[in-house]
Structure 1
Amino acid sequence: MLETTQWINNYFNESTDAIMIFKDNELIVSNHMAKELQEELKMNPKYLLEVADSSIKQKFSPTENCFDCIIQNKMKQVSIPITLAKDMPHPLSYFMIYNVIDKDSHVFSLTLKNRGTINRMDQLAQQRKLTQYVNRANENERKRISEDLHDSIAQGVYSAIMGVRRLNNTEMSNDDLNQLTGVIQSQLNDTLTEVKRMALDIRPSVLDSFGLLSALRVLSKRLEENSGVEINVIGSADTSGLSNDIQSVLYRIAQEAINNALKHANADEISILLVSHDHFITLEVIDDGDGFDVPKHQTFNGRSLGLMNMNERVKALNGAFNIKSTVNEGTTVTVKFPIV
């Protein structure tokens, strides 16, 4: 028990947060970090109590003067932004956490957490979440390609192989031989077409050879032929100054948005607008389909993965992503990237 108490004391004193414990509004113990702040900043703990008192009253009961009642009845812990050393060249920004330890004995703590540290931790957490999501999206893409290779390419090649083996049958007539040769050729042509389709989905060569606008026109023509839905590409934006990464992302956004409209929205017409301005370039994909309730698709599900993928890809390159949709009125996906 004594050893456990020592561990707790060590944790308390060595914490990088400034921790102060009060009883009946009187400071009874502080850790090392709190003592250093009090000494270096001439910080009076009573000032922190006044800030906490004012903030909690304002937040929980602007008209009630019973501070203890508010603490006991309405909350256990509250976070309050506070800035110390305001008159110094580099003010210090903290979150002050008010935590009730024993409400019957009126014991509570005030903990000062550096806001910069918390923000960095939030960024790291967000980065980890993004990494997990990207890994998941990559695995889903690999799975889709694997299924296409197995179900389409492999089956087509296998059928052609079986046909070639039959050519060894010396008893076949010329007519049967010509018919079999035609079947094998058709199978190989279908397989080649499927390979080209997969190559276009993975990385269209026209994007590297002729730029984003041409790639979008080829994409829209192919999807229009396959779906029967009218897809228009509008704009004459000069994308030569954009990096390959940004052009790739804009192409993928258009591809994903069109596929969403075709799969989910029952759209009759889709328009792709690519417009360059003085300091930024804008891509808009507009459909006249069913639309949907955007807030309901903010969490992970089958459809929102595509939306989240678009958003994260744009954010990773310092762009802006926005999606507007109204049920029965269609959807507009907008992406903006700065032009340097």
Structure 2
Amino acid sequence: MQPISNSKNQLISSWQIFIDKLDEEVIVVNDQHQVVLANDSAKNRFGIHSIQSYKYSCKKFYEHFCEACEHCPIDETLKSHKTSSFFFEKTAGKGYEVTTIILPAGLEDEEWVMCTLKQTRSHNDLKEKAQNVSDIGNWQVTLDESLRVVKTNQYTFQFLGLTKQTLEKNKPLFTDLLAPEYENSFLEIIKAINNNNYTRQLRLLVNRRDNSYYGGNATIGINNSGESTYYELRISPISFPEFGSREYYDNIRLQNFIYIITQQMVQSQTVSEGYRDIIYSIAEVLEANVCGFLHQGAGRQYQVEGALVNGTYYFNEHDPTKTKDKIRALTSYLKQDDYLIISAVSISNSEIKESLLQLKIESFLSYPLKHQNRTVGYIFIGLPYAFVWPESKIDFVRIIGSIILQNLLQQETREKLKRLNENFINIFDNSSDAVFIVSLNGQILEANQTSTVLTGYNKRELLKKNVSEISKAEKLDLAQVQYEMLQSQQMIFGTELIPRKGEKIPVETREKMIRYQGKLAILVIARDVRHRREINRMMVQTISETQDKERKRIAEGLHDNVGPLLSTLRIYIDLLRNTELVQQEIEDYSNKMNDIINEAIDTVREVSRNLMPGVLNDFGLKEAVSDFCNKINQTGVIRVYFKYSVDNTKLEDNLKNVIYSLIKELINNSIKHAQASEIELRIHENAEGLQVEVVDNGIGIDIERQLSKSYKGLGLKNILSKVNANSGKVTILDVDGFGLSIVFPTKKITG
């Protein structure tokens, strides 16, 4: 059994109050035949002290009492939305009449049916004339389009104290026979029947000739079979100890209005129209001059959804007299956890006394509409006279509040879904990636604007295609899609898009299983990676060219410097091997050879130092860079100002070598090309990592030219490739000469 939501629990509590006031045996079942509610009469009849909603089926609840499931009218009522009934005989001469009617609970996920079980006589006995009040038969009445009585049966006298002949002769308006306060509810039912031809039920109070009152349960239908329209009424008498009690019939009237109000909400064309009809009905039944309800909107501010104030109806922003401001001002005084009742405003000490008197309210009631400990809004009612609120009318307000609460929550849900849908559509349509929604058999169900640009097909054409028609995927087995997506989230869309024209487009895709229009589907996001692949290709090419350049420089250094020394050394060795020399000559040659070897060693050491400075290995980045800057300054050609402020950053050896080589390359570029006289070099920490800044006062460089494909030099390209390879970020500084900032992400030293 699924847990019941708080809002549904509140609705159950409110309707429980309603059916407990009915003396018939009543249960409320949902469209799965589960018992939601049962009144005390029903529980007493079947010996059940308490029930748990949705625990029993109606068959389990009645057990073997009913024994007529094959004739059960519940399914017929759910299908036709019309009142249904049937009779079954339990013992000789006695039976039960089961009547079912849709109960407008305002729920989106289920429907409720109110099932009334009434003990009655057998069908044969019903034909006999009743001799006393408890045996009075049903009053059958036929009304014409103007609601005049045109036909009636022999039970007229028991209801009205008039004979059948008198009634049919005079043809009075049926509304004239009703107690005045029941006229409008009857007309509302007639209006509802005209709209949808459904049979309706309500309780009526008729005015007898001796000015006493007589009540009955009325079933009202419409007959359009001929040229004219007739209304057929079947009214069963109410025979209770309270028969004739005005208070009892007031309760019946409230119950009728609950039914009418719920019907108004269900049948209204718009939410605003439904709220208006409810408010007018509440004002009528309670004789209120002020009635309405507040809803907590965005920013936890209360707004007046609708209010009837001294004959004028206010809704939304239609409030030229600022009456809503006066109503909204009441919210700060309303109790959060309970209803507020003031029976006589004029003599009360309430903080809202003046506000209420301004609205001509002398008696006031407000009730909070709560959901999951959150006050969603308030229903409020004001009367123009002092009034002690009876429990029946407080219960009436509570039930109506539950109906309004359900509609407010549904309204909030609809608005939330609308916002979510708008956000989704905005993200979907404006994504820079191609986005598809694909069915589990590969059919494209939805596609965004980017997908049409990328593939060259318009949206209508895409929605006619299968994903396999526009993608290249090896062994795309659509039968395995569901399993693969649920088990491993593997890509099923392929690695290339096939556009209408042109070459295949490499893409990177991500997939996620979603529900689309109530069914499982796959959300596919395809990113064009052509640009990324081109950048990767350029990086690989640049790194390769840089390595070739470095090898060439090393080779040239060895060839130009070490090569001649080794050649000279070979000459001296040949001389010693092939020439007869005196001791002095041998010593001279040996000294010269020793000098050559020492020079070769120094040259190799210099080449090695250029590749990996010893001071960098021995003393670190700061000393190595400082040593390099000092050597530049000693030439007197250019001046380098070096500042180093790094205390809490840990540098890996590889990053030290990269930074050192970048600094050398940047300074050498300034010396060769910038015509600069000064260079500022700063190495320091920031929030992102280690920052290296090089700024000169030279003539600057043409950055676009250096980055173009036609430019043969490697300078700036080489620098960018090294930085990208180490996840760094390059920024060109806005200075008079040339300035470059490089930031490498690094780890901070803690503790």
Same-fold call, TM cutoff 0.5: yes
Q: Does structure 2 conserve the Cα–Cα contact (< 8 Å) formed by 1:207 and 1:214?
A: yes
Unaligned 5+ residue runs, structure 1? 1-12, 37-75, 78-87, 92-113
State the AA in 2 paired with 1:32: N
Per-residue CA deviation, residues 167-216 of structure 1 (Å, 9 max, x unaligned), is: 55444684x66665554444334322321221122122332332211111
1:333 aligns with 2:743: no
1:192 aligns with 2:601: yes
1:306 aligns with 2:715: yes
The structure-2 alpha-carbon separation of the partners of 1:26 and 1:324, relative to structure 1 and needing over 3 Å to count, comes to closer
In the TM superposition, residue 229 of structure 1 has moved relative to its aligned partner by 3.1
In the TM superposition, residue 281 of structure 1 has moved relative to its aligned partner by 1.7
Per-residue CA deviation, residues 132-164 of structure 1 (Å, 9 max, x unaligned), is: 221122122112212222222122222223234
Alignment of 1:232-271 (within 5 A): 232-238=641-647, 241-271=650-680
1:32 aligns with 2:466: yes
1:205 aligns with 2:614: yes
Q: SS state of the match for residue 282, structure 1?
A: strand
Please name the residue that 1:5 is paired with. Answer: none
Q: Does structure 2 conserve the Cα–Cα contact (< 8 Å) formed by 1:267 and 1:288?
A: yes
Unaligned 5+ residue runs, structure 2? 1-441, 445-450, 471-500, 503-512, 517-523
Equivalent of 2:557, from 119, 132, 148?
A: 148
1:166 aligns with 2:600: no
State the AA in 2 paired with 1:244: D
Structure number, greater radius of gyration: 2
Q: Does structure 1 conserve the Cα–Cα contact (< 8 Å) formed by 2:632 and 2:639?
A: no
Distance of 1:324 and 1:163 partners within structure 2: 57
The structure-2 alpha-carbon separation of the partners of 1:222 and 1:196, relative to structure 1 and needing over 3 Å to count, comes to farther
Alignment of 1:98-177 (within 5 A): 116-118=526-528, 120-167=529-576, 169-171=579-581, 174=584
Task: Say how many residue pairs are matched.
Answer: 250
Equivalent of 1:214, from 607, 623, 627?
A: 623
TM-score, normalised with respect to structure 1: 0.60
Per-residue CA deviation, residues 37-74 of structure 1 (Å, 9 max, x unaligned), is: xxxxxxxxxxxxxxxxxxxxxxxxxxxxxxxxxxxxxx
Q: SS state of the match for residue 692, structure 2?
A: strand
Equivalent of 1:286, from 671, 681, 695?
A: 695
The structure-2 alpha-carbon separation of the partners of 1:336 and 1:90, relative to structure 1 and needing over 3 Å to count, comes to farther
In the TM superposition, residue 257 of structure 1 has moved relative to its aligned partner by 0.4
Q: Percent of pairs identical after alignment? A: 22
Distance of 2:694 and 2:618 partners within structure 1: 23
The structure-2 alpha-carbon separation of the partners of 1:173 and 1:28, relative to structure 1 and needing over 3 Å to count, comes to closer
Distance of 1:165 and 1:35 partners within structure 2: 78
The structure-2 alpha-carbon separation of the partners of 1:14 and 1:126, relative to structure 1 and needing over 3 Å to count, comes to farther
Per-residue CA deviation, residues 246-287 of structure 1 (Å, 9 max, x unaligned), is: 222211110110111122223333332111235522112222
Q: Does structure 2 conserve the Cα–Cα contact (< 8 Å) formed by 1:212 and 1:239?
A: no
Q: SS state of the match for residue 30, structure 1?
A: coil
Distance of 1:264 and 1:224 partners within structure 2: 18
In the TM superposition, residue 325 of structure 1 has moved relative to its aligned partner by 7.3
Distance of 1:318 and 1:27 partners within structure 2: 42
Distance of 2:462 and 2:547 partners within structure 1: 55
- Higher mean displacement: 209-218 or 184-193: 184-193
| Structure with more contact order per residue of length (Cα contacts < 8 Å, sep ≥ 6) | 1
Please name the residue that 2:726 is paired with. Answer: 317
The structure-2 alpha-carbon separation of the partners of 1:302 and 1:123, relative to structure 1 and needing over 3 Å to count, comes to closer
Per-residue CA deviation, residues 71-110 of structure 1 (Å, 9 max, x unaligned), is: xxxxx99xxxxxxxxxx9799xxxxxxxxxxxxxxxxxxx
